A and B are shown apart, each in its own frame.
Chain A
């Protein structure tokens, strides 16, 4: 087995046994980047020199007999909307093409405290707006499982890097499914933690009430290890929760006996691919065989989740993206006066989808339309959250597809934005309700494309999700 195909915990065991060095692992992953990156395009920036120097430092530490952390010396990718001090952070936008953050995002500084090896900054849909990574301002990313297909998005670079052996694990961000859907398309594990579990300080804001950083990994154990590293309260993010962070590795128990798992009927309706549905139903049968109780449930407002999300997220985005005005950072295109300068900058440097969402957002927020669109969506958001609260009175977890289909072809959806939005039906409800969810691989289609299933948990109960996900993984 190649080093670049192993999990973080397997590599950690080899490192502590001194069977391999961090330099060897890093060289192996960088060789893989050289081999496949032209075809896949997972990265915006590759931090080769830093990676080699950091690996050397880890090896020196090991040779001095010092103890190393669970992720020490393990190569990783970080989505390019997570600020890294001194390392270009573009959000895959021309407007931030030359932006070098003067500070680290909290999630990255917490991760960096464990000394993993940063291989690079991962490609994404511009400002995390999209589900295919085709909206990157620089280049598309291709699905390592089938180069004609998209890797999903918006964390498509992060998921593709992990699937292709260009990183062992990655950080992504998830506003409406942007970790879980690419994980499912690329056949890897991806988790969106509870809103507030991971600090958003230094995450380039898209929709502040929905955004959350999370892990993309090769297995559930690595997911728990990365979640351990990045979780916790942060004074710099007033929405980060003060709740205690458990050691998520203690949740890695191969036992679902007695767990009550709900199957929401609204997630298995028209539009879902029959192979995806069959694969998710097989997971339910398997969980039942392993001792869980499968319960049919209803989340009646699911049909309204897309409308609700695509009014709230663009409204927040339109507000957040006001800061790109060509003044304090980012690109500037000159103009005769300050308004013309700002208009030139934004018109020329934002991509089509970003401009579309800014227009939708400002329309929904504008005088005369605010009540009918934005306020209405906020009220329906309450009903969607109540559906989950009601369901969680009788179940511990909810099982659903991650996406209605496996990865689609490059170019297939770009001409129809609304069709692309409808792909998010299984993932956006969690963001609206602030709940945690994971996507786990569960087989492939007849065409060989990965299928993912989703486990949804109660707020702050990532542990039960990890327990059931781990059990599925061990018994698949």
Chain B
């Protein structure tokens, strides 16, 4: 299974990962080897077979719409790399 350089760039970008030019051949070769291995699934006839996302039957769970205590703001922010005035702080997102 061949994987193009463009595929690697797209998937890396979706993953918010940077793959350097030196790493790219290894990453590509490993992905190709993996995809070749999982080709064995294509031999199975899955016509009319429903996909399974959860193995055991689970149902939607309802609960009363009541206000309950939640994590205090200072605790919710306690692991933030950068916080200010009760908010998470991130680098500029919009051009001004």
Contacts and interface: CB of A to CB of B under 8 A. Distances in A.
B43 to A, nearest CB: 9
Interface in B53-96: 53-56, 58, 61, 63, 71, 75-76, 78-82, 88, 90-93
Nearest to B82: A332
Contacts of B33: 418
Contacts of B8: 359
A132 to B, nearest CB: 17
A328 B80 contact: yes
A346 B31 contact: no
Given A358-B15, A359-B12, A373-B38, A338 B56 contact: no
Contact of A334 (B42, B51, B79, B91): B91
Contact of B15 (A98, A102, A339, A346): A346
B58 A239 contact: yes
Interface stretch (A218-226, A306-314, A438-446): A306-314
Contacts, number: 156
A355 B8 CA distance: 13
Interface string A305-342: 01110110000001000000111111110111111111
A121 B49 CA distance: 42
Contacts of A307: 37-38, 40-41
A282 interface: no
Given A360-B31, A379-B49, A380-B41, A338 B92 contact: yes
A335 B18 contact: no
B52 A417 contact: no
A362 B13 CA distance: 10
Contacts of B35: 363, 373
Nearest to A350: B17
B17 to A, nearest CB: 5
A359 B11 contact: yes
Contacts of A372: 42
Contacts of A434: 54-56
A423 interface: no
B55 A432 contact: yes
Instruction: Tell me whether chain B's interface is mostly helix, strand or loop, or mixed.
Output: loop
A346 B17 contact: yes
B17 A383 contact: no
A214 to B, nearest CB: 16
A72 to B, nearest CB: 29
B14 interface: yes
A337 B93 contact: yes
B24 to A, nearest CB: 11
Contact of B56 (A196, A330, A341, A356): A196
A69 to B, nearest CB: 27
Contacts of B7: 363
Given A355-B17, A380-B46, A337 B56 contact: no
B25 to A, nearest CB: 14
B52 A375 contact: no
B80 A359 contact: no
Given A339-B16, A358-B15, A381-B51, A366 B10 contact: yes
Contacts of A432: 52, 55
B81 A381 contact: no
Contacts of B61: 238
Contacts of A329: 79-81
A209 B11 contact: no
Given A355-B17, A358-B15, A359-B31, A376 B91 contact: no
B51 A375 contact: yes
Nearest to B49: A379
Contact of A360 (B34, B56, B79, B88): B34
Given A100-B78, A337-B91, A379-B49, A209 B41 contact: no
Contacts of A358: 15, 17
A241 B55 CA distance: 12
Contacts of B51: 375, 378-379, 381-382
Contacts of A459: 56
A339 B16 CA distance: 8
B55 A376 contact: no
Contacts of B92: 337-338
Interface of B: 3, 7-8, 10-12, 14-18, 27, 30-31, 33-35, 37-38, 40-42, 44, 46, 49-56, 58, 61, 63, 71, 75-76, 78-82, 88, 90-93
14 contacts: A99-B79, A102-B76, A195-B55, A196-B56, A239-B54, A330-B81, A339-B16, A346-B16, A346-B17, A363-B11, A363-B35, A382-B49, A432-B55, A434-B54
Given A359-B31, A362-B15, A379-B50, 10 more contacts: A100-B79, A102-B76, A102-B79, A304-B44, A327-B81, A329-B79, A355-B17, A356-B30, A380-B44, A435-B55
